[in-house]
Amino acid sequence: MTTLAPPATIAFIGLGMMGRPMANRLAEAGFKLRVFDLSQKAVSDFVGAHPSAVATASAKAAAQGAAALITMLPDGKIVRQAVLEGRDAAVEGLEAGALVMDMSSSNPVDTQKLARDLASRGVALLDAPVSGGVKRAIDGSLSIMVGGAAADLERVQPVFGAMGKTITLCGPAGAGHALKALNNYLSAAGLVAMCEALVVGEAFGLDPGTMVDVFNSSTGKSNATEVKGRQFVVSRTFAAGFTAGLMVKDLRTASDVASHLKLHVPNLKQAVAYWADANGRLGASADHTEIFRYAEMLADEET
């Protein structure tokens, strides 16, 4: 199979907070993009910044003439509609032998079914969710977790290389989405632990900035303390660029995988309940680092 290197044509569906900087990286690397988003403004803004990109009116239109398709959408159900089942679905425009890369955070069980359904149409699927947030999407240093065939990954290495620094084949179809959900479970748990530690420490009279510095030079160090502590929590800017609603979705996905496998994981279930309640009180659009505010609310209720 031919390696997809610039100036190959790629269809890109989903120009949101993460999708746009990822598509920027591809355009800057020399790929020709055919873009689609339900927001006409998102499409026009992107094409305005990248005149070589082609604006399209549907997923099908975006897919026409493209060697590969990337989706960066809110969840797997929306991906399935855009790619396979909806009006003017992308698969209607893709040629046999094309490759779909779902870089959204989707349910891995649903991803396995999507892979089978696309294979029956002669189209391969790689699930390739990302970690690193908007900052790393902008600089092209995302971590990309891939599920699917090794040969398909080899084919699109230049594509992923334009967007990510660490690209890992995790297993067959669905493996990337499963690992992403489990990774976000660890991320969510670490963030809550840091926030509760800060709440207790501040009540005792400790300086929160000093606390984070000590955590980062001690065994309490985590992604939360390193890249969210001073930056978004201590500063109370709460602008990491990932919503509480999306964190709840990913946690539920991880819990659904455990349930599908008939595994009892009480801490994961507790994390889902904790974040779901926070989501209800903070609002789904709240930045996920605002979980600190929720920790403060709970602490005040207990006193």
Catalytically active residues are 180
Partners of residue 142 on adjacent β-strands: 164
The two three-digit tokens of residue 282, written as one number: 């903070």
Q: Are 33 and 50 in contact (CB under 8 A)?
A: yes
Residue 189 CA to its chain's centroid (Å)? 17
What letter would DSSP give residue 232?
I
- Within 13 Å and on the Cβ side, how many CA atoms surround 114? 30
Nearest to 27 by CA among 6, 2, 41: 6
Question: Which residue has tokens 């989501």?
Answer: 279
Contacts of 234-239 with CB under 8 Å at 24 or more apart are 234/198, 234/208, 234/209, 236/292, 238/286, 238/287, 238/289, 238/290, 238/292, 238/293, 239/287, 239/289
- Reading the block at residue 86, the tokens are 């909806």
